[in-house]
Amino acid sequence: MSAAYTAAYSADAIARAGAALAAFIRREQRLWIITGAGVSTDSGIPDYRDARGEWKRSPPVQHGDFMAFEAVRQRYWARALAGFEAMRRAPVSGAHRALAELEAMGFVEQLVTQNVDRLHQRAGSRRVIDLHGRADTVSCTSCGYSIMRYALHAEMAARNPAFTGLDAGHAPDGDADIELDFSTFEVIDCRRCGGIFKPDVVYYGDVVPKARREAARAGLFRANAALAVGTSLMVFSGYRFFRDAHARGMPLASLSLGVTRADPMLSEKWCAPLTPVLEYAVAQLKQQSGAA
């Protein structure tokens, strides 16, 4: 997917966007950056929305449905046996590495990601807030008992051999494109209290924990400008920060392949492939600082 997108842009177009992004970073110095699915598509993790901000596929599971209906949990966990492994093994992308380099160079006050794949941390970023949680751990919604997700998957696979090894297309957030009769799938509940196990992810219809939201906002108010990378900001939990930044008169910019909910607020916008533009900007900043 990345190669196809990049091929649609000339080297000159990428250089112009990269140079403009480098100038923005150099001018503002301390950035609050929010990332979305676009930074992980180069890692092989699909995204949900197209360049117009419209759904490419069915929206993800709703929190209320997951908690209320056994059939929804059966479908979720059965599909995850096939889909989550792709997320767990996904490589770090050039976009992740470039953002980590920007932090190492001192330009990132706070990085907030809407992704749950932990690839920013694997790339070396340290000032990261996982706004929507993380997909690699699972907790009981009743007593809080927590385990690593791969351990729960291994137990579910052992109890549901008919649902292992299925050939399926990978979907966003560890899902998979499988439609079967899931009624025989045995879901594993909390071994301590019998409560419902749920990935430590903020599903649609759920709310971002207050402490996490306030930490992200505090980072925003320490920064000089905000930059959205690979996100349409269609989800309010991310968009709210750009709205707050705009109210404070902060410069706002976006690097993505399409529209964003914050377009009317942006002072600068680059519609271009993320990895080559970010890499170009980092190279320019290094050159200008005299770094190797």
Structural domain including 223 reads 1-45+92-132+207-292
Q: Is the pLDDT of residue 194 over 70?
A: yes
Decide if 51 is inside a domain.
Answer: no
Cβ contact 103:127 at 8 Å: yes
Structure token digits, residue 58 = 């069915």
Pairing of strands 197-201, 268-271: unpaired
Say which CATH number the domain at 79 has.
3.30.1600
3-state secondary structure of 277: helix
Q: Is 271 annotated as a binding residue?
A: no
Of 201, 226, 259, which one is at a domain's C-terminal end? Answer: 201
Q: Do 81 and 101 belong together in one domain?
A: no
Of 152, 170, 201, which one is at a domain's C-terminal end? Answer: 201
Q: Is 140 annotated as a binding residue?
A: yes
What 8-state DSSP symbol labels residue 91?
A: P
Neighbours of 251 (CB within 10 A): 18
Location of structure tokens 């990261």: 128
Cβ contact 216:114 at 8 Å: no
Q: Do 123 and 191 belong together in one domain?
A: no
Decide if 50 is inside a domain.
Answer: no
Q: Which of 251, 285, 280, 282 is nearest to 13 (CA)?
A: 280
Q: Do 34 and 73 belong together in one domain?
A: no
Tell me the catalytic residues: 132
Q: Quick one: pLDDT at residue 292?
A: 46
Predicted confidence (pLDDT) per residue in 116-169, tens digit: 999 999 999 999 999 999 999 999 999 999 999 999 999 999 999 998 877 655
Q: Where are the beta strands (DSSP E) in 225-266?
A: 225-229, 252-256
Q: Is the pLDDT of residue 247 over 70?
A: yes
Of 201, 235, 251, which one is at a domain's C-terminal end? Answer: 201
Q: Is 190 annotated as a binding residue?
A: yes
Predicted confidence (pLDDT) per residue in 74-109, tens digit: 999 988 887 787 778 889 999 999 999 999 999 999
> How many domains, the chain?
2
Distance CA 150, CA 81 (A): 9
Q: Do 102 and 244 belong together in one domain?
A: yes
Q: Do 72 and 168 belong together in one domain?
A: yes
Share of the chain above pLDDT 70, in %: 88
3-state secondary structure of 122: helix
Cβ contact 75:200 at 8 Å: no
Q: Do 138 and 212 belong together in one domain?
A: no
N- to C-terminal Cα distance for the chain? 31
Confidence grade of residue 114 (pLDDT, cut at 50, 70, 90): very high
Q: Do 80 and 185 belong together in one domain?
A: yes
Lowest mean pLDDT among 24-38, 65-79, 174-188, 257-271: 174-188
Say which CATH number the domain at 243 has.
3.40.50.1220
Q: What is the mean pLDDT of residues 193-201?
A: 96
3-state secondary structure of 131: coil
Q: Do 21 and 162 belong together in one domain?
A: no
